[in-house]
Amino acid sequence: MSWAASVRDDSSRPRRGCGSLPRMQDRSFAAFASFFVAAAVWAAPASAQQQPATSASPPAAAPAGAAAPAADASARKDPQGQTGISPYMEQILKGQASFVARDIPGAIAAFQDAIKLDAARMLGFYRLGEAMLESGNMAEAEAAWTTALGKKGTDALQAKVLFCLADLRERQKNWQAARDAWGTYGTFLTSNPKAGGYPATVTERQKQIDRRVKDEKDYAAVKERIVQREAERQKEAEENAKKDKLNR
C-alpha cells in the first residue's frame, strides 16, 4: 500500500462548511490536517534499521479547533505521494491550516496552488469550494464543486461534493434545483453504499423544501389579496374625494 493510500483523502461525513444541518458537523480541518502531517513524519524512518511506518502506532489527532501545523521539514517528500508527502498534499494542508486560522484568502490561494499542481484530483476543488463558500462567494463555490464532480476521487468524497451542491441550491433559494440535487445525492448513496453519507437527510430536506414552496405560494396568494384590497380602498377614497368636491 502506498503512503498516500494509507491515509484517506477525506472523511465520510459532509463538512460543516457546506452542511446546513447541525448533525452534519464533522471533525475540524485541524484534526484532519494534523493526522496527515503526523502520518508524513511517521512514514519516514530515521534510519535504515527503523521499523516500517505500518508497524508504528498512529499519532493522536490535534484537538478540534487547534491550528493545523505546517508540514515538518524532516518529513519524507515524494512528488508521487507514495513514500512521503507530495507537494499537492502540502498545499492542501497549508490551505486547511489557513482555513482553521480564519485566513480564508490564504486558504483559497493554497487550494488553488494545489489544483495547479494536480488538476485531476477532486480533493483540491472540494476544499476550494468550502473556502469560497466561507468567503461568501457562492458562485465560485458552485463552480469549484461542479468541476470537482468530473475529477478523480473516492466515492465518499464525491458524496460529500453532491451534498454540498444540494445544500448550496437551498442557500440560493433555488428550490426545484435543490430538490433535484438532494435526489441526485440520495441516488448516488443508494448506488454506492460504501460511500457513507446520510440517506435519511434526502427525505428530510425534500420535505422542508416542499413546505417552503407551499408557504411561499400561500403567502403569494395572501399578498395578492392584500394588494387588491389596498387598490380597492384607494379607488374608493378617490371616488369619495370626487363626491366631496362636487358637494361643495
Give the confidence band of 221 by pLDDT, cuts at 50, 70, 90.
low
Least confident span in 15-19, 129-133, 196-200, 217-221: 15-19
The residue among 43 and 69 whose pLDDT is bigger is 69
The pLDDT of residue 228: 75
Amino acid at 235: K
Domain ranges of the chain: 4-247
At residue 59, does pLDDT exceed 80?
no
C-alpha closest to that of 157 among 39, 35, 26: 26
Which grid cell is 86? 507530495
pLDDT digits (tens, 9 = 90+) for 170-181: 999 999 999 999
Which grid cell is 171? 442557500
pLDDT digits (tens, 9 = 90+) for 68-113: 445 555 567 766 666 678 999 999 999 999 999 999 999 999 999 9
On average, the pLDDT of the chain sits at: 76
Q: Give residue 176's Cα distance to chain centre.
A: 20
At residue 41, does pLDDT exceed 90?
no
Query: Model-level pTM?
Result: 0.63
Torsion, Cα of 34, 36, 39, 41 (10° steps): -70
Mean pLDDT, residues 25-42 taken together: 42
* CATH number for the segment(s) 4-247: 1.25.40.10
Report angle CA 208, 147, 210 to the nearest 5 degrees: 10
Residue pair 138/172 in contact by the 8 Å Cβ criterion: yes
